[in-house]
Each structure stands twice: as structure tokens, then as C-alpha cells.
Amino acid sequence: MASLFSSPPRKTLVQKAVPSSYNYKSSFKYTMALIVSLPIGTPPQTQQMVLDTGSQLSWIQCNRKTPKKPPPPPTTSFDPSLSSSFSVLPCNHPLCKPRIPDFTLPTSCDQNRLCHYSYFYADGTLAEGNLVREKFTFSTSQSTPPLILGCATESAEAEGILGMNLGRLSFVSQARISKFSYCVPLRQGRVQTIPTGTFYLGQNPNSNTFQYINLLTFPQSQRMPNLDPLAFTVGLLGIKIGGKKLNIPEAVFRPDAGGSGQTMIDSGTQYTFLVDAAYSKVREEVVRLAGTKLKKGYVYGGSLDMCFDGNPIEIGRLIGDMTFQFEKGVEILIDKERISDHVGGGIHCVGIGRSETLGVASNIIGNFHQQNLWVEFDLTNRQVGFGKADCSKTV
């Protein structure tokens, strides 16, 4: 869920020196998103949050405090009155000055002289509430200092967001996390149980098996309107389908003069989205291989238009494996059995859409194509590591 705002990285607002040696292992539920449960506050209250490498501000669902009889809040919401480490950001905080470039809508002062924020994501969802400070307490010996996050009172979502991008207000920047990783388990279309994956803050014991590629960074002078400089941008070189490399120029996967075309790894987006020049070649090849089976005129969710009725195994056999090719010979291989996703009613769609259907000008590798893969974001060395794994069994 890449957010629309971008801001130049500045010095973090956390004043005290913070160790970056957190070592914390947790699990997450994989629905269409990666939902982690994290202990927040003193004493800790467990909060469900979407792990989102494509956005900056973290926020939690807070109890609504209204004088009239409110409906009972969801059991997962955070009750600030129970935490001794909770504090609100007053209006005179530097972050609350209007038009600060960290938010798509300016922060403002509410009637209680508190800092109010509204936050739009690229998919159009909105979260709003107050900016607060609160700590994450991983264990009796491991906790963060109070971090700035949103305390959402208005949001359609059941979970909060754990913002993990390179922005100065993201969880990883404020907590000075040196690296983090996750392993997304296979999500079987028709199975009712929600699969569980593994999430590490800090060192991953499996990292000696990972293959690393460099993150692309963009100096201030290169900032362009369509570029998200805070995303985890990688150098995608090409796409193979059924062993055949598609005729897509490498430049299509790199930012152009206006910033369009960057390729990002985004845990908060479900499927993979490609700019037109790449998408049209992928679709052309899928039509060539399995066009007779294509469900004509059908588009799922406004984005996926390579959909099929019938047996997904047979469709997979017709199309073959798919490979994303990166520098240094590093590849993400999508097995033919997993080329499509069951979207309901016996319909299966190839998990790739056109970026413009999201209103973005980037290539986004979503979590559907990160299944059975360790993905490690190493912020110290500015690289991303991949390692094959059975994520339902991973330790």
C-alpha cells in the first residue's frame, strides 16, 4: 500500500541514542496482507498491524472516547488510558505545523489543541486521528523509546499499519532497526485456515542462505514527481515466462526523467503491478500461451484482467513458470502451480495487474509473489536479500 506522500529524509526526531540491536521474532497471519501482532504501551497491549514496506507512518486503532454511549470498541483497539508511556503530540510540536511534507494532508490543530492527522494511501483508503508517542515493548529487556505514531479514531480498517519504508517517521527509522525480514507462507485459494508466517526484527538465523541485491537510492537532486524516494527500490532486469525472456527493455523497470518506472518491493500490496510497457508484453505472452482459456472481458477488482475459468493446474501448465530477474543472477521464481490466484467462484487470475489501474507509475512486486521466500531488508548495507523457504514451517 504505497502511500502517496514523499519527503526528504531528515534527522530522526528521536533524541536519545537507541540501540539498533533488537532481536525479536514473531509470527504473522497472511490474509491478503501480512498482519503482525505487536506489544505496544506499558504494560503492553497487543495490537494487530499490517506490515507495510510501502508506507511511512505507523498507526494503531485507538478507543473512541465520546461522551455519548459509544458502540463497544473492537477488542483489538488500544486504550491509551491503560498505558503509562502514552503521550499526545501537542499543537506546537514541529510536526504539527501545516504543510509539513510528511503527510498527504496537512496536520492540523484540533479543538483540544492536539495534533490531528489525515493520511491517504495510494489505494484511496484514509486513516485519521491524533499523533501520539508510544513505545513498543518486545520483552522486559527490549523496548523502543516512545515513537511517533497515529492513534486512529476514524478508519475503515480493522488493523493498524506498521510503516516500514525509508522515511524518517517509519517504524524502522524511528526505532533505528538495522534489518528486518519476513517469510510469507503459501495461501491456498480455497482453504479456510489462515496461514502463519515468520517475522524478524534484527538478525535472521537463516540469512547465510540469502542472495542479496542492492537497493537503488536517489539523491535529493534526482527527486522527480512520480518517484517515491522512500520505497525499497530494486533493479529488476527482466521477466521470463515459461523459460522465455520477454522482450522488455531494462529501462522500463528503472525510473525515467519524471520518476516513472521504479520497481519496488511492497509487502502492503497484494498483487504485482507493472507499467504498461512491461504489462503489455506479459499479457501478450499469456494470451499466446493460454488465450483460448481466457475469460473474455472479465476484470477482477478493477485490476486483474488475465483470468480463467477451469483448472488452475492446467492453466499453469500452459503458461509455465514465471521468473523475475535481478542483478547478480538473483531471481524470484514463481512456480507454474502458483501463477494464478483463486479470486472466488472458481475463477483464477494471474497475479499481475496494470499499474495505472492503481493510479501509480511504478512497478510493484506485491506479497503474492513473495510467497515461500525469505525477504530481508538490510538497512545498514542498503540491500534486499531473498532465500527460498517453506514459510509455513520456517523457524
Residues 6+ apart with CB under 8 A from 228: 2, 6, 54, 262, 264, 362
What's the CA gap between 203 and 43, in Å, rounded? 26
Q: Which three cell numbers stand for residue 262?
A: 521504479
CA proximity to 267, closest of 370, 169, 341? 370
What's the CA gap between 357 and 279, in Å, rounded? 12
What's the CA gap between 243 and 233, in Å, rounded? 25
CA proximity to 148, closest of 48, 12, 310? 12
What's the CA gap between 341 and 153, in Å, rounded? 34
Which DSSP category does 317 fall into?
H
Half-sphere exposure of 220 (CA within 13 A, CB side): 4
The single residue of 52, 102, 341, 378 carrying the catalytic annotation is 52
Amino acid at 300: Y
Task: Annotate 18-37 with b (16+ C-beta within 10 A) or e (fewer).
Answer: beeebebebbbbbeebbbbb
Cα separations in angstroms, 32 against 50, 184, 217 = 10, 11, 29
Q: Which three cell numbers stand for residue 124?
A: 484511496
What's the CA gap between 65 and 70, in Å, rounded? 8
The single residue of 102, 266, 305, 341 carrying the catalytic annotation is 266
The question of whether 52 is a catalytic residue gets the answer yes
The question of whether 256 is a catalytic residue gets the answer no
What's the CA gap between 354 and 224, in Å, rounded? 21
Do strands 147-155 and 59-61 pair parallel, antiparallel, or not at all (unpaired)? Answer: parallel
Neighbour tally for 257: CB within 10 Å? 9
- The secondary structure of 212-249 as a DSSP string is EEEBP---GGG--TT--TTS-EE-EEEEEETTEEP---
DSSP bridge partners of 353: 273
Residues identified as active-site:
52, 266
